[in-house]
Structure 1
Amino acid sequence: MDYAQAGELKFGQVGIANLRVRTLDVAQLAAEMRDRVQRAPNLFDRTAVVLDFGGLSAAPSLADARALVDGLRAAGVLPVALAYGTREIDALSRELGLPLLAKFRAQYERADAAPATTPPQPAPSRAPEPAPPAKPAQAAAGPGLMQSAPVRSGQQVYAENRDLTVLSAVGAGAEVIADGSIHIYGALRGRALAGAQGNEDARIFCREFHAELVAVAGHYKVLEDIPKELRGKPVQVWLEKGQLKLAALD
């Protein structure tokens, strides 16, 4: 990963983009995003973007945050919310008139909460009875989601907590998302996002590769970043040491 970039862009569940700001340089961030929009205009067309200031040592000022929002909008990006991080970010979101992304709220509120104190207990008069052994939790392993009809432009299919198998094609402008892996037995011309909840072991398999975008656990590539020799071929996509890999299937 190139840490010289001012912002790390990831695509997560249901196509929402998360822009984690690592350097509060409005001009550089706007230029980076303008370049990304120009390379993949269909990807960013009315795509919701969440601003995450968790990579900064302190919350930005209201003036800097407003300048960033205005700069991103001028670059063709649509900021719609802030990722919850601290009470300062909470206050900033209110001043900007942007909501907080609820998915991040509970995680940080647990971290901010003061640890509960337990009053001292009197010593027991005798040794307590041993507790019965806890039963191991049983994971709910449901079958994968099967999509038999083609996924057409403008449609979205999401497989929550499972794999997704598409028996036909995924058209341009369509989107398939799974918390597990994605298997496509036809052409992939739209977007495929596997490991949407962060599963880095998820993979994407397709028989004919023309994807607008592929992502695993938020790490993504657009068509312009993909070697031309893989287009139209059977391809698999996976994550290895934080880098998105693509290879032709034998």
Structure 2
Amino acid sequence: MRGRFLTALSLRIVSDVADDAFYAQLDDQLLRTPQFFAGAPMVLDLAQAPGFADPAALGDLVANLRNREFRVFGVENAGALDRAALQGMGLIPVEGGRDAPLPREPRPARATPQAPTQPQATPAPQAPLNKVVRTPVRSGQMIVAEQGDLTVIGSVASGAELVAAGNIHVYGNLRGRAMAGCHGDEGAHIFCQSLNAELVAIAGLYQTNENLEEAARQRCTHIFLENEKLRMEVIA
């Protein structure tokens, strides 16, 4: 067994009824940002939609979302929904993280005579675990640097994903998705030699290809957060 980092979209439902207006708004969003949803796993957040606690209503919603190629696999804040009903719809309940157990109080040790010890040197702080990829990243690949920066020496194809706790450097054409500061680091940056990404994000704030600044397209670009907005600065 190995733990893996997985990014998933959370679709927060704020209506108790999925009517024609609901699906019309959803279809409009799909037309404007198709790359953002393509192939992405999705969780439904029902905290503000108690009406979908009815299995029939939820089943109809899930069927309509899957017909639109949303990969719905889980439900958050499902309330009293029966787990057997969720399983019948191919869903799992997604719960929040749990608190770590408190450390136990150490037992008092018996007093025993000890020889004087030499003072121990303070260990040097460990450097961040940066990751370097020396080959192009193909469509469908997902490269994750859970600590530190991620550097790609090559191009990133459409349909590929880069995820890093720190900065992302791409020495080539960036056409896939790049998500820096994935643990909430708002000081993270994205650098690429040619920008034509499907999506760029820093600390959860993102822009899709349709909203990229025209002056930065296919240019050497520096992307960073400023006043809670993504800025794109052409380097050359």
Shorter-chain TM range is 0.7 to 0.9
Shift of 1:105: 4.3
The corresponding residue for 1:95 is 85
Q: Tell me, what secondary structure is at the counterpart of 2:231? A: strand
**Alignment length, in residue pairs?**
206
* Cα pair distance change 1:100/1:150, threshold 3 Å: same
Shift of 1:46: 3.0
- Mind listing any 5+ residue stretches in structure 1 that lack a counterpart? 1-12, 111-137
Shift of 1:42: 4.5
Higher relative contact order (CA 8 A, sep 6+): 1
Superposed, 1:133-212 pairs within 5 Å as 140-212=126-198
Question: Greater CA radius of gyration, 1 or 2?
Answer: 2
Query: Is the CA contact 2:180–2:201 (under 8 Å) kept in the aligned structure 1?
Result: yes
TM-score, length of structure 1 as denominator length: 0.70
- Alignment RMSD, CA only? 3.0
How big is each residue's C-alpha offset from its partner over 1:193-244, in whole Å with a ceiling of 9 and x where there is no partner?
A: 1122232222211111010111122222211111222110122222344433
Between Structure 1 and Structure 2, the one with more helix by share is: 1
Percent identical residues? 32
How big is each residue's C-alpha offset from its partner over 1:8-45, in whole Å with a ceiling of 9 and x where there is no partner?
A: xxxxx634212223344524543333223333444433
Distance (Å, rounded) in 2 between the aligned partners of 1:176 and 1:29: 32
The corresponding residue for 1:9 is none
TM-score, length of structure 2 as denominator length: 0.73
The amino acid that maps onto 1:144 is N
The corresponding residue for 2:62 is 69
Distance (Å, rounded) in 2 between the aligned partners of 1:177 and 1:89: 32
The corresponding residue for 1:50 is 43
Query: Is the CA contact 2:132–2:150 (under 8 Å) kept in the aligned structure 1?
Result: yes
- Mind listing any 5+ residue stretches in structure 2 that lack a counterpart? 101-123
Query: Is the CA contact 1:169–1:186 (under 8 Å) kept in the aligned structure 2?
Result: yes
* Pick aligned residue for 2:25 from 32, 35, 45: 32
Q: Tell me, what secondary structure is at the counterpart of 2:31? A: helix
